[in-house]
Structure 1
Amino acid sequence: MEINMEVRNETTIQEFILEGFPAIQYLGNIFFLMHLLAYLASITGNMVIIIITWADHRLQTPMYILLSTFSFSECCFITTVIPKLLSIFLSGRQTISFTSCLTQAFSFLFFGSIIFFLMAVMSLDRYLAICKPLHYPAVMNLRVSFLLAFFCNALSFILITGLVLKVSQLSFCGPNVISHFFCDLGFLIHLSCSDTGSVEIYVLFLALLVILISLILTIIAYSNIVVTIVRLPSAKERQKAFSTCSSHLIVLSLMYGSCVFIYVKPKQTNRLDSNREAALVNTVVTPLLNPVIYTLRNKQVHQALRDALSRVRLQKQSFGGPQQALDFLEDNSRKRRKSCLP
């Protein structure tokens, strides 16, 4: 037994190899450009939401505070995965150290859990606003929205930290090839030469807690919203509301479907290769669609964007150059002199 322990300690893995997508490695430059554009578009869309929310006082409401927090979490979520994937496509360097692998896995699950909790909270916020409009101002305010966002972050940190600590205590003797484009804990557990039964149960428990509970809350909230919408007297209002709900449900089905497929399984060894495609949808496609579906189709956001662009244009017209600045100041001075005349 002592000899086995010594051999195990001598062969402890210090780095892993991310296999990525071996079938399309010869198209690395093309996929690098595609994923880079998708990454930049997603970051830009979410940053626009954050900036507009905090710059326009009309959007500083509980719903938009939660949406801006959601957008920030989305930016962090995709940043934990996409830059490493881009480096694999561009340079072909697929190795990652054990510490970096655990850090990436923690960040991915941490921000992913925040996103799921926020989606549930946002669904409840919309339920109160649509189904209980008279009680909404008394229940939801800026202080409550900040507390809910903090609670989502704190709960995610506690749950994911416990999981990563349990995985870090496992032994890895080889092989060291991860059949994925990032360090997913399911693959790490599969590569361990320790007894992983308790860790797999813990992973299943967290998946059920984070994904299914938030999904159940979302379904209950939107079910009540749909019932309320059906009772609206105007057919135009019903059609508009159903169109918005259908867009939300598309994104929800993409995110929840891919995550349930990946994590809510008793055995992580089943169909590991097919997880890559589901994870790609979860980390690239869905974050790209979320800014458009959740906020950029919103009329209030459109109006805030138009007002911001109008202010920028006015400033450029007023101070576009030295001569324009002098003309602007002279016109103002002339107007002030005329206002002082009797």
Structure 2
Amino acid sequence: MTTGTYNPAAATVLGLSLSSPVLVGSGLLTDQERNIRRLLSAGAGAVVTKTIHPSPPRSGDERLLRLPTGMLNSTTYSRRSVDDWCAMLRGFARDGLPVIASLHADTPAELAGLAGRVVAAGSRALELGISCLNEEGGLQDTPERVAAYTRAVRESVPVPFSVKLAAGEGVGERVAAAVAAGADAVTLSDTVPGLCVDAVTGEVRLGGSFGYSGPGIKPLVLAEIFALRRQGLEVAVLGSGGVQEAADVVEYLSVGADVVQVYTALHTTMHETFARIRDGFDGWLRGHGTTTSALVGRSVGR
């Protein structure tokens, strides 16, 4: 989009002025600089990096299992070093690219230190990927844990950040804890627990319960965002879960998401799929004579 040209798709989140509310979420596909740059060139409003961790697990398989309604994955964090990531982030900052750094660490203090390093490398916005349920031993998230990580980062860096949480029991309390501790936004939803069984052998695929993403969780996440907005949540919301086409983006915006992340669908013809969703959304706006800002929250008061 040429500078100064009116853009009905424009959006703003985490202090970033974006050409589109259609973002690429964090995952295996955003672990490479080449992919990040190509997705931005294809029109992504922003790209969220794979989660950067100062001491990621070096053992264990990172596997994907495609399902008719989405995907199970046993992935955790990027295995690239923080130094490598900081070099990439400096390049993105130099080129003025809207890249959101996803971060996690083993303790709040370590996360605060990591946030300081990536902000020093030029990151203008962060997403705290603190709710990955694929960690060894699983994850039992609590409002207290969410608050501790959020507060540590808020006291460490001045840049805007979102806290990524999983939909499910107690999400309202976890969102409230993040906001009270200083989060500028929340991302809903991280993957939720899922399990697949081989009907012939009875074998549990992937060896256990892992993160499920895809269209099956979209109605659940829409309901969570809708309820949170109805209850008065004022911070920005990055909607995520099951986006496959332009209409999904419209639905998320309508219930109060400010921007929408797409990820799982990109595991099939990544660039073509993203372009189809982004172009489809732009066409939807033109066809209905409206804008991104007019869509945001339009369903909440009805």
Bigger Rg over Cα: 1
Structure number with the bigger relative contact order (C-alpha 8 A, sep ≥ 6) is: 1
Query: Please, what TM-score do these two structures have when normalized by structure 2?
Result: 0.24
More helix by percentage: 1
More strand by percentage: 2
Query: Please, what TM-score do these two structures have when normalized by structure 1?
Result: 0.22
